[in-house]
Structure 1
Amino acid sequence: MPICISCRTPVRTLYTTYSKADDRALGKGVRLTQCPHCKKFADKYVEHDFVVLFIDLVLIKAEVYRHLLFNRLEREDDKFDRSILRLGILLLLFDVYLTWARIEKLPLPDSSSLAHNASSASLAVPPHSSGVTNAVVLQAYPLGAQYLFFLCLVTLSTLAFHLPIRLLEEAMAEIDSVFSESDAVVDGAAGFVVYEAFSDFTDYLGL
């Protein structure tokens, strides 16, 4: 069920479409639903494009995360929207750039043979200098190979973060279903035992 991204109050619909509505992406023929609790629009991002979503994601606004988690990701067929997949790919590529820039600035340890070889081969950095960074080592490889390396690194780290959560979620759902069925069986068996014990007790009393 969709929610209001401001106060998290559940709402029935996020917008109302007129009978002769134009393209929803242009904001024509669509009337946003007003939240009954905070009196704001339930989800203003319905009419916004992905550029605004991406900027607010970078700014870490809570409203855009609620929009994506509750009002975009939740579907009856339990499938991701293609627009969310495109946005995820965009964020993945942006994370590749950030990881690349961060790792390049990390210094190599002084005891490392790579640091000694890189500092010896570089004219700008003297040998055994503590200012040798990973950028000196990465320069020995082609630019395409560097990009593929960081793309694989970020992809594997993203999968390592999200896949256990998805697997645990599915496992918990199966465990809940098994426990609900077993609880029903146990409740039925317990009721039968109590009924038999009560019947034996009434027979003993002669009632």
Structure 2
Amino acid sequence: MARLSLTSSARGIGIRSRVLFEFKLCICTEDPQEDGPKGDLLIEGRTEFSTMYTTESSIQNRRLYGDKFSLDVKFAALINAVQAFVDVEILRAPDCGLNLNLYAKTSGYEDVIPLYQGVAEAGCKISSVVAVVIRSCVYLRIEGTPKDDGLSQKRLPCGAWEDSFDTCYHGIVDKVVNLDEFTMISVKITWRTLD
């Protein structure tokens, strides 16, 4: 079974009782032609969920059907939530680059939301949005290791940081995180409600 994560920000705002999902999943091909398709189409379709009305926040699983395949999705339906805009900037990183993982958990649920997984360098900025139930918190975890450049046998130490942030209706929280002596990361959370 393959597990694919949606890129941030994948969210619905102010949903009343129905949700329309449109999806298109392609397999990227190496060196696609300029005038040709960018990848092979795996699944495409749309579906409507009409039983979304709930009075309590929950994690839900649904199946989306396409022409040839189906796609199972897992999502959170959060009641009375605010938006946490998570902005991460790499202020200082090893010269070879940084293998960076940024994860979140929301509203007391144990499900991990991958916000970023990849290579980052100094100056790189990453932005994500996480919905959080009011009077709850968002939990962030950053893991980083120097990118293996293939030149040295010795690996530099790994670094990790984690913290939780209580919700508010409006406001900004700034932190500067040192994973090790080579790596400094700025974390900013901006809380916003819907207009």
Which is bigger in relative contact order (C-alpha 8 A, separation at least 6)? Answer: 2
Q: Normalized per residue, which structure has more helix?
A: 1
TM-score class normalised by the smaller sequence? under 0.3
The structure with the largest alpha-carbon Rg is: 1
TM-score, L = length of structure 1: 0.25
